[in-house]
Amino acid sequence: MRVAIVGVGQTPFARNSRMSIQELCFEAFRDTLEDINLSPKEIEASIICSAPEYDKQRSPAGLISEYLGLTPRPTLCAESLCSSSSTGVRVGYGFLKSRLHEIVVVIGFQKMSEISSSEAQERMGRGADIQWESPFGTMMPAGYAMFARAHMHKYGTTDEQLAKVKVKSSKYALSNPLAMFRREVTLEDCLKARDIASPLKMYDCCANADGASCVIMASEEKARKITTVPIWIAGIGAASDTLATPNRTNITGLDCAIQAGKQAYNMAGVEPKDIDVAEVHDCFTIAEIMAYENLGFCKSGEGGKLIDESQTYIGGKIPVNVDGGLLSKGHPIGATGGSQIRTIVHQLQGRAGKTQIDGAEIGLIHNIGGVGLYGNVTILKRE
């Protein structure tokens, strides 16, 4: 029995949404239902995904399922930091493959505007080892700055190559009305920006945001009654790495992404060269370059060359993040994976507008939690 994604939706990602978490989730849920033949009462279970400690509500699954009219059907929370909603999709996939349920909704959200940037960084730091890492300043930017330095040292990756990732991101965000930053940024802008955690500058880093995303999944039998264009989950992989970065053997890539990618490719029966379009977790520019390599789009150390040659633009070898990615859309932690999935579903359905990849049939989503702690890779196929 195959599992399909039958509906996707999201809110705009914004610096300050002025909405409650349940209102954010409702907006994404409503957006998802608009294009499909499904009543909320037909949904058999809900999976609510977010990273804790960004809002005051404990156990938000109960609050949100009630607000959406999904009670008394079962609900639960899924959390794996920044990859929470793709983890939720993995849980939903298991529900459907086991035939425990026939239709499941996965809703990811985060409201980050209620706390300051420094408070958000402190909470993110708790995603690292709170005894031996985060007290010494290894927050998210510092963690990825270490990856960038190691990559530069080993492979000769340059500041300019990092900056080119953001230049691409900003170009495509202009066509995404839901992106937080819709202004084209030049290479010079990036290189002149202030340092955040050297070598990462301001434009090398994504921004906190408010937002929600929604993915509705169904068994094959139900899927064909809900939509005329179901998108099939062909491969789904997940892995983790050590929490403490000093215990890792690889500091120029993310082993969790490498392992998750291998699982997904094997399950889908495809290779990197078969992917038509990809969404990767570009929380920092170095993260996108490492993703190129970890997913097999190029050899280790050649990620910088791939962006130099514009091979990850539309028309290149493998278009990546043509919705603006996290760098331009913003990163409402629990909503990000679902937003990435939405982009790929729209590409495979031919609904991506100005950034549509002609003939796209196979798409990949790479969603990372923490500083390379959790890795989820999902491969989707059109009929």
Positions of the chain with pLDDT lower than 50, given as ranges: none
Q: Which domain holds residue 49?
A: 3-115+209-232
Within a domain: residue 120? no
pLDDT tens string 252-276: 999 999 999 999 999 999 999 999 9
Within a domain: residue 74? yes
Rounded Cα distance, 163 and 35, in Å: 37
> What pLDDT does residue 132 have?
78
Look at the chain and count its residues: 383
> What pLDDT does residue 359 have?
96
> What pLDDT does residue 307 have?
98
From the candidates 49, 77, 82, 283, give the one annotated as an active-site residue.
82
SS (H, E, C) 185-203: CCHHHHHHCCEEECCEEHH
pLDDT tens string 338-374: 999 999 999 999 999 999 999 999 999 999 999 999 9
Within a domain: residue 182? yes
> Could you tell me if 272 and 265 are in contact, meaning their C-beta atoms sit under 8 angstroms apart?
yes
> Could you tell me if 65 and 45 are in contact, meaning their C-beta atoms sit under 8 angstroms apart?
no
| Together in a domain, 58 and 9 | yes
Name the phi and psi angles at 340, rounded to 5: -60, -45
CA-nearest of 234, 308, 238 to 271 is 234
The angle that helices 140-155 and 117-125 make with each other, rounded to 10 degrees, is 70
| Together in a domain, 228 and 285 | no
- The enclosing domain of 104 has a CATH number of 3.40.47.10
| Together in a domain, 223 and 273 | no
The angle that helices 84-97 and 336-349 make with each other, rounded to 10 degrees, is 60
| Together in a domain, 105 and 195 | no
| Together in a domain, 305 and 362 | yes
> Is-catalytic flag, 101?
no
| Together in a domain, 87 and 159 | no
Cα 252 from chain centroid (whole Å) = 20
| Together in a domain, 226 and 196 | no
| Together in a domain, 213 and 338 | no
> What pLDDT does residue 120 have?
73
Q: Name the domain count of the chain.
A: 2
Domain boundary among 172, 198, 232: 232
| Together in a domain, 71 and 189 | no
